[in-house]
Structure 1
Amino acid sequence: MSVVLSAAATPAAPGLTLRPWCDGDADDLLEIYQDPVLRAWTRHPVTSRGEARAFVRRSRQGWAADRRFSFAVLEQAPAGERLVACVVLKEVRPGHPAAEVGYWTAAPARGRGVAPRAVDAVTGWAFTRFAAAGLTRMELFHQIDNPASCRVAEKSGYAFAEVMPARPPFPRDGHRHVRLRP
């Protein structure tokens, strides 16, 4: 799990470092999940230190299985790097042309271009890393009542494809956005 990605700085935002989750992220993860907005949009909120450690453990298991790749997104801050987001590549299967990308952003990082830059970085990595396995399409799903996620999809090159009917884990209809390998 030595993969480290970067997302370029913009005039309004510093560069980002994306790397696999590590044990030292558990406390920051728990603090970020105190945000009620994040909890509302997340299927499995982190509410205890044990759940934070389990989140990190599941992330490592996904990497080991070579099917689910969860990245901690870090931003340079005056006191060093700080955790600002998560991007996960899901459902990677050899011979299957599509995979899914998901993400969340910590409250202080919202509206500053963190999510689109991080999603774009993971998408580019996925298309390169899994090209030989046949990956040609990435999909991003969000509930229809989440316009911020719609903007993230568009800013990171995911075109709107269709409205999807509600289905678990989504209680409301949603959007499917698609980005094709260049």
Structure 2
Amino acid sequence: MDKIAARITSDATPTAPALVLRPWQPADAPALVELGQDAALRRWTTMAVDDEAGAADWIRTQQRGREAGTRFAFAVLEPREQGAVERVVGHAVLNGLAPGASSAEVGYWTAARARGRGVAPRAVQALTAWAFATFADAGLTRLELLHQVDNTASCRVAEKCGYALSGILPASPPAYPHDGHVHVRTHGA
């Protein structure tokens, strides 16, 4: 596990600051509570955090997944101002890793203030590159990105990041009440 990064970076662009992806920390709980109030985030994700206790529990779940080597969740951060403290603008996760498995799932969400500014595609690109660089030797050759069929913004993010639409995943209520798109990216693509 020496190659498991504590930080992943996405370079700055002419119009956007650099992003840093790092594991969620207990100190992120207040930001997570604030982000968890976003109606759009609640609509498109299963992340439901209402208070600091719930945020702390959610963060502990992310940490347990990292320790088990099955889930690598990252807070997506950007600087508030030049050289100032970074703020949480999203979440990116590599999930479903298993020894010898050839595929895993990439997921993400962004704060309302970060939408439409290229945060999601840059975070997904950085996570994808890291996942293949870190786990290809262990057999990882395929990443999937799933979203509800009516989430056109996530469809655009997947396409920008080189994840081709490969099929429709039927709804499975109550956890997944709507059909989903399955986007796939293979190592080297």
Shift of 1:153: 0.5
Shift of 1:48: 1.1
Shift of 1:44: 3.4
1:38 to 2:44 alignment: no
| TM-score computed with the length of structure 2 as normaliser | 0.93
SS of the aligned residue for 1:132 comes to helix
Shift of 1:128: 1.0
1:112 to 2:112 alignment: no
Q: Which amino acid counterpart does residue 129 of structure 2 have in structure 1?
A: G
How far apart in 1 are the matches of 2:139 and 2:111? 33
How far apart in 2 are the matches of 1:121 and 1:93? 21
Q: Which amino acid counterpart does residue 93 of structure 1 have in structure 2?
A: A
- Matched residues, number: 182
Return 5+ residue gaps in structure 2 as ranges. none
1:64 to 2:67 alignment: yes
Q: Which amino acid counterpart does residue 101 of structure 1 have in structure 2?
A: V
Q: 2:6 aligns with which of 3, 7, 32?
A: 3
Identity of aligned residues (%): 54
**What is the RMSD computed on CA atoms of the aligned residues?**
1.2
How far apart in 2 are the matches of 1:102 and 1:56? 16
Return 5+ residue gaps in structure 1 as ranges. none
Shift of 1:165: 1.2
How far apart in 2 are the matches of 1:5 and 1:132? 19
Off by >6 Å, runs of 4+ in structure 1: none
How far apart in 2 are the matches of 1:44 and 1:13? 26
Note the 1:17-56 alignment, pairs <5 A: 17-56=20-59
SS of the aligned residue for 1:119 comes to helix
Shift of 1:2: 5.7
Check the 8 A contact 2:36/2:47 in 1, yes or no.
no
For residue 134 of structure 1, what is the aligned residue in structure 2? 139
For residue 164 of structure 1, what is the aligned residue in structure 2? 169
SS of the aligned residue for 1:131 comes to helix
